[in-house]
Structure formats: structure tokens, C-alpha cells
């Protein structure tokens, strides 16, 4: 049942209280209420406006600009290693959380990512082999995330993905693209022309993602019947919302959790704009914090769970000293170059700059959910290794070891985007830099202080140099020479410079610092570590160290950032968390 005002709630006590109805929180709400004897209250700060066109039409995913009510609208502190630039970081502020506003790419990382998680947490349950079932059907007893469905255009997808690594019986719709743009076949040609550097791979969700697709409509996205499939429209879809034991209150912003003697059982929230009174609700079993990488540590710190010295200096009573809360903030960094494409008639600007064309496409989408508006950001992504013979890269490997978790894990993600008129982005998916989320001492309940820490490690500049070189190498394929005009903007200066003999790396570094952007994948601020470890915030079963009754389940628990887009990994950890919580003897 959905509620908009706390006075409508049937009770002040629930078995479980989930803070944040986002990607992870929605999974937990759904799975825990499968048992009709258990009741769950979800407190979500945003609205339930998940039918808004901006959230439903895949094409509009990139138009949710900062300033939207669906975004928390975070801005980082000036980044000292980036000439004091600030970064606007998005997080969903609506039911479904970031899964309601993200770019929908569905990628479950490499087997190496999960094996590393198992290694650092000492819990073999996190290994790839043990986690596969949470993505897809291998064991009938385990719940899965993915429901692989036909694309919007119903094209024949045989041979374009590996059915053996997908599930058709999960909850969350995933499909191949339902519309092909003329860029797609050029990308295919580039892959074939440059297959040594950019080798084709059948399916990047096999655990072995290295390579790039050679089929025109290839990326796998959380799109079902031409519409976004978010955690809200899937896990909190109508049939689940109708459950008598599921209570979802929107517009409810949680400030703190509390309890006594190291047991947490109370949650305090208010409804800004509706009722500013502080309301307290109680859990009989557990409070589950799923407020995302930026807000989860904020709630923990406000509740006295964090670095005791810092909390005391802010006059917050210490519940437990956990210095890792808010530390280890880790995000992928991206860089891009744009090229002209003479006479292109179907880049995204065809619709974003032409109201008539946009109205027609929207009309087609509204009529039968087909056409150009059924696709998200891109129809192709690639996962690549760094060039291990480059002296720069050898140096990084010598200093840090391989920054990727395993030799089958990527260092870079390549994303050709049909916009700009053509943009080639490359992402560092193995960042070494770390930042932090802290309370703002002058207003602890206001936005946290986010220092995203980009390039605090020089190694990330070096990795990004490789990202820039990869973009340039990719753009040198004959098909691009034949079909693209010149590079546009700052990347043109680099291409026209002397990077070939390594003398102009200062120019590349300046380009990186001035143009790095985020793709909003931050993790790590309530990191998972082995039971008994002297660092970390949660144990491998998501329980906050030293406390009972409180778990954290969201992107904040990843101690290392996955080497892929992060939503599928978040879905998988939430699915496993639900199993762990159900099996726990209270």
C-alpha cells in the first residue's frame, strides 16, 4: 500500500523498516513481504511519481538534468586535483531511487569482481559462482533479478546474446535495444576493422565481459516493452504494492536511527513540506538502511555511528566508533571526445533540437512503445584492458599490482554515443583515488559534504591518459575516417598535437582535469569487510559492525567499485541480502 502522509500509516511498529525505496530498498521490500506474516515499512524521501514521462521514456533518461525534483542535486566540494572544479553528482530522489533516473545499462561486472569481494570479506557466498543465481536462474530455490524480455521492436535476437547466461523468470525487465540508429552499423564496422584492439564478444554479462559487441542492437538495458523497468516499476509494481503487509510512505525523509545498548530499533523521519514534525517508528526485527552512497553515511553519522572524534567535535553522542563510515568513496571517472558527422539524420539531436520530430517520436512511443524513443543512451559498450606494454601502465602495475580484480576484468569501458553528433566516451572502471562523505558541521541535516576525491591518486591520471589514447585509437578506424568529419572541441587539440612521441602528455593531462565527468556510479562509504576486520562498516551479512538490528544494503557497501555499471551489482547484493535476512533467527 502506498501512503503519502504518515497519519495514514496503520501502525508505528513494523517487523522491518527499510530506509530508502530505491534500487536495493525496493528489492528488500518485495522479497521480505513474500512472507505474509512479516510486515515492512519503506520510508522514501522522494515521490511516487514513477509514471512521469522523463522517467518512463528511455530516450529521456539523459534529460533528467540537475535541478530536477527527481534528483538529490548533490554538488561536490571543489576538487583540488582538478583545478577546484566541482562535480554535480546525481542520485535518484523518487521511488526506485537511481534506477528510476539512470541510463539503464545492465551489466553484472566480471567474475573477478565478485571473487575479489569474496576474498576481502572472507565470505565465499560472494564469489561469482555463488552469486550467479541471484542474477539469473541456475538454482530454482534462489530469487533472481533479471527477466530477459524481447526488445521493443521484437527483432530476431538469436545470436546477439547468450541465452545461457540470462534468466527469463526474474522480476526486473532487461532487453536488447528496440531501435537501430545509423551509427550502430558504423560501430559494427569499426569493431570488425579493429578487432585486435577491440575484439568482439558475444555477451558481456557472462562474467567474462572483455570486448565489444558486433551487433547493431547489443547493449542490455533495464527496458521492458519499450519502457524503463526501474526497481519501482518492477519490484514495487502494482501486484506487489497491493500486498497487505507492504507499507510504502513517500515524501518521508529519515534523519536518524536509534535504540539502546547497541541495538537499533527506531527510525526518526519527517515529511518536509507536508509535516515537519519528527515522527518515530519502531522495528520489531530490523532497520535496513538503503539510502544510497551519499545519504546512507549521512544518516549513520547523524545517528552517532562513525568516527567518534569527529562526532564528538560536532556534539553528536557516539553510539559506536566506526571511523570507516563515509570514507572510501569511489567513483568511475569518464572522459569523452566528440566528432562531426556530416549529413547525419538520426543522431539524438535530430529529436532534441527539433520539436516536430520529437512530437512524432513521442507519439509513436505513446501509441505502441516503438521507435527511437525506446532506446537509452547507447546501443553499444565495450570493456577493455589497458595497453600493458605502455611504460605508464607497466609503472602502475609495478606500484599497485593490476588495478583490475582479475585478468578477465576490464580497466576501461568504451561507450560510443549517438550524440554530439558522435561522442566516444571512455571510463576508468578501476579508479585508485578515494574520497569521502562527511556531515556539514553547520547544518548536519543539510546536504553532506561530498569530496569525491578524483585524481587524489596520480595513477588515475595515468589510467585516463590511456582512456584518451583508446578513444583516439578507436576513432582512427577507417570507417570513422570515411564517415566522420573532424574532431570537435578540446579533443581536436590533442589529436593535432604530438602525443605520438609522448612529448605532449601535459596537454592530455590538462584535458583530463578540465573535462572529466561522472557517470554517477559512486560506492564504498559503508564498506563491507571481513567479520573482525579493523576497518569497514558492515560485515559480509550487511549487519553494521558492533550493533544489532541495523543493516546497510545499497551501493555504499561495495569496498571496491565494480568494473561495470553499478545497478545490476546492487540488485544482486540486495537479492542476496534478502535471503540472508530471511534466514536470520531473530
Ligand X SMILES: Cc1cc2nc3c(=O)[nH]c(=O)nc-3n(C[C@H](O)[C@H](O)[C@H](O)COP(=O)(O)OP(=O)(O)OC[C@H]3O[C@@H](n4cnc5c(N)ncnc54)[C@H](O)[C@@H]3O)c2cc1C
Q: What are the residues whose beta carbons fall under 8 Å from the beta carbon of 326, sequence distance 6 or more?
A: 297, 298, 300, 301, 306, 307, 436, 437, 438, 448, 525
Q: Which three cell numbers stand for residue 88?
A: 554535480
* Number of other CB atoms surrounding residue 98 within 10 Å: 28
**Strand pairing category for 253-260 and 263-271:** antiparallel
Nearer to ligand X, 241 or 459 (CB): 241
In whole angstroms, the minimum distance from the beta carbon of 193 to ligand X comes to: 27
188, three cell numbers = 559494427
Helices (H), 324-404: 349-352, 355-368, 391-400
Across the chain, how many H-helices and E-strands are there?
16, 25
| Interaction site with ligand X (CB under 6 A) | 19-25, 43-46, 90-93, 97-99, 101-105, 252-254, 290-293, 295, 299, 520-521, 554-555, 565-568, 570
Nearer residue to ligand X within complex by CB, 134 or 511: 134
- Nearest distance, CB of residue 569 and ligand X, angstroms: 8
DSSP state of 66: T
Which are the contacts of 186, defined by CB distance < 8 A and separation ≥ 6?
479, 480, 483
* 254 labelled binding-site residue: yes
Distances, alpha carbon 373 to alpha carbons 174, 180, 367, in Å: 16, 11, 12
* Nearest to ligand X of 184, 554 (CB atom): 554
Give the whole-angstrom CA distance, residue 193 versus residue 58.
31
Q: Which is nearer to ligand X, 102 or 529 (CB)?
A: 102
User: 234 or 483, CB closer to ligand X?
Assistant: 234
Of 32 and 104, which CB lies nearer to ligand X in the complex structure?
104
- Vertex 583, ends 581 and 584: CA angle to 5°? 65
- How far is residue 135's CA from residue 133's CA, in Å, rounded to a whole number? 5
| 78: CB partners within 8 A, 6+ apart | 84, 85, 86
Which residues are CB-neighbours of 484 under 8 A, at least 6 positions away? 339, 340, 341, 422, 475
CB of 581 to ligand X, least distance (A): 15
**Between 95 and 469, CB nearer to ligand X:** 95
C-beta of 377: minimal distance to ligand X in Å?
7
528 forms beta bridges with 538
- For residues 50 and 470, which CB has a smaller minimum distance to ligand X in the complex? 50
Report in angstroms how near the CB of residue 330 gets to ligand X at its nearest.
Answer: 12
Phi-psi region of 167 (alpha: psi -120 to 50; beta: other; left: phi over 0): beta
Residue 120 or 249 having the CB closest to ligand X: 249
- Of the pair 298, 341, the CB lying nearest ligand X is at 298
Residues 6+ apart with CB under 8 A from 215: 159, 160, 188
User: Where is 53: in which H helix or E strand?
Assistant: helix 53-56
Nearest distance from residue 232's CB to ligand X, in Å?
9
According to DSSP H, which parts of 179-323 are helical? 182-193, 238-241, 292-302, 308-313
| Three-state DSSP state, 211 | strand
Ranked by CB distance to ligand X, the top (closest) residue is: 22
3-state secondary structure of 321: strand
Write the DSSP symbol of residue 148.
E
Q: Which residue, 297 or 487, has its beta carbon nearer to ligand X?
A: 297
Shortest Å distance, C-beta 158 to ligand X = 25
Q: How many CB atoms lie within 10 A of CB 5?
A: 13
CB of 145 to ligand X, least distance (A): 12
Cα separation values, 87 from 74, 79, 195, 212, 336, Å: 8, 8, 35, 29, 16
Question: Residue 279 annotated as binding?
Answer: no
Nearest distance in Å: CB 365, ligand X: 19
Considering only CA atoms, which of 449, 380, 433, 351 is closest in space to residue 192?
380
- CA-nearest of 579, 530, 483 to 185 is 483
CB 294 to ligand X: min, Å: 8
Partners of 7 in the β-ladder: none
Query: Closest separation between CB of residue 135 and ligand X, Å?
Result: 13
From the annotation, which residues make up the binding site for FAD?
94, 254
From the annotation, which residues make up the binding site?
94, 254
Amino acid at each position: 500500500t502506498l501512503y503519502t502522509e504518515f497519519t495514514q500509516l496503520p501502525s508505528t511498529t513494523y517487523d522491518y523498516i527499510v530506509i530508502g525505496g530505491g534500487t536495493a530498498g525496493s528489492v528488500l521490500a518485495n522479497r521480505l513481504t513474500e512472507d505474509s506474516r512479516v510486515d515492512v515499512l519503506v520510508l522514501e524521501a522522494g515521490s511516487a511519481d514513477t509514471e512521469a514521462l522523463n522517467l518512463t521514456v528511455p530516450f529521456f533518461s539523459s534529460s533528467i538534468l540537475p535541478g530536477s525534483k527527481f534528483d538529490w542535486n548533490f554538488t561536490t566540494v571543489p576538487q583540488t586535483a582538478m583545478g577546484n572544479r566541482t562535480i554535480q553528482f546525481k542520485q535518484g530522489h523518487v521511488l526506485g531511487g537511481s534506477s528510476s533516473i539512470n541510463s539503464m545499462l545492465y551489466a553484472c561486472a566480471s567474475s573477478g569482481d565478485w571473487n575479489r569481494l569474496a576474498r576481502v570479506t572472507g565470505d565465499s557466498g560472494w564469489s561469482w559462482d555463488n552469486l550467479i543465481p541471484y542474477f539469473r536462474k541456475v538454482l530454482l530455490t534462489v530469487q533472481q533479478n533479471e527477466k530477459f524480455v524481447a526488445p521493443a521492436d521484437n527483432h530476431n535476437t538469436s545470436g546477439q546474446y547468450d541465452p545461457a547466461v540470462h534468466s527469463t523468470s526474474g522480476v526486473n525487465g532487461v532487453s536488447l535495444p528496440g531501435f537501430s540508429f545509423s551509427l550502430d552499423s558504423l560501430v559494427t564496422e569499426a569493431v570488425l576493422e579493429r578487432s585486435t584492439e577491440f575484439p568482439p564478444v558475444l555477451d558481456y554479462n557472462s562474467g567474462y565481459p572483455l570486448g565489444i559487441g558486433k551487433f547493431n542492437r547489443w547493449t542490455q538495458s533495464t527496458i521492458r516493452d519499450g519502457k524503463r523497468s526501474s526497481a519501482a516499476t518492477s519490484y514495487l509494481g502494482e501486484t506487489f504494492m497491493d500486498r497487505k503487509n507492504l507499507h510504502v510512505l513517500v515524501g518521508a525523509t529519515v534523519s536518524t536511527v536509534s535504540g539502546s545498548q547497541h541495538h537499533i530499533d527506531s527510525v526518526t523521519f519527517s515529511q518536509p513540506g507536508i509535516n515537519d514534525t519528527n515522527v518515530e517508528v519502531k522495528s520489531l526485527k530490523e532497520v535496513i538502511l538503503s539510502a544510497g552512497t551519499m545519504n546512507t553515511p549521512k544518516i549513520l553519522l547523524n545517528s552517532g555511528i562513525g568516527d567518534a572524534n569527529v562526532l564528538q567535535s560536532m556534539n553528536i553522542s557516539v553510539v559506536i566508533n566506526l571511523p570507516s563510515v563515509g570514507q572510501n568513496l569511489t567513483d568511475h571517472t569518464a572522459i569523452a571526445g566528440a566528432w562531426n558527422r556530416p549529413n547525419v539524420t538520426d543522431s539524438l539531436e535530430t529529436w532534441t533540437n527539433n520539436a516536430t520530430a520529437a512530437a512524432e517520436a513521442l507519439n509513436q512511443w505513446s501509441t505502441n512503445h516503438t521507435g527511437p524513443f525506446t532506446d537509452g543512451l547507447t546501443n553499444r559498450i565495450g570493456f577493455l584492458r589497458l595497453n600493458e606494454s605502455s611504460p605508464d601502465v607497466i609503472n602502475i602495475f609495478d606500484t599497485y599490482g593490476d588495478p583490475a580484480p582479475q585478468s578477465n576484468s576490464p580497466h576501461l569501458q568504451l561507450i560510443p554515443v549517438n550524440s554530439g553528433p558522435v561522442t566516444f566516451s571512455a571510463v576508468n572502471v578501476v579508479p585508485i583515488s578515494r574520497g569521502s562523505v562527511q556531515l556539514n558541521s553547520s547544518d548536519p541535516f543539510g546536504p553532506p559534504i561530498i569530496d569525491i576525491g578524483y585524481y587524489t591518486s596520480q595513477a588515475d591520471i595515468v589510467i585516463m591518459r590511456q582512456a584518451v589514447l583508446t578513444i583516439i585509437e578507436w576513432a582512427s578506424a577507417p570507417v570513422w575516417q570515411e564517415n566522420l568529419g573532424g574532431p570537435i572541441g578540446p579533443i581536436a587539440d590533442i589529436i593535432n598535437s604530438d602525443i605520438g612521441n609522448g612529448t605532449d602528455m601535459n596537454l592530455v593531462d590538462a584535458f583530463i582535469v578540465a573535462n572529466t565527468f561522472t557517470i554517477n556510479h559512486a560506492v564504498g562509504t559503508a564498506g563491507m569487510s571481513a567479520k573482525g576486520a579493523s576497518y569497514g562498516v558492515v560485515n559480509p551479512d550487511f549487519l553494521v559492525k558492533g550493533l544489532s538490528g541495523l543493516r546497510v544494503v545499497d551501493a555504499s557497501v561495495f569496498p571496491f567499485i565494480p568494473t561495470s555499471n553499478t545497478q545490476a551489482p546492487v540488485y544482486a547484493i540486495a537479492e542476496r541480502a534478502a535471503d540472508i535476512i530471511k534466514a536470520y533467527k531473530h
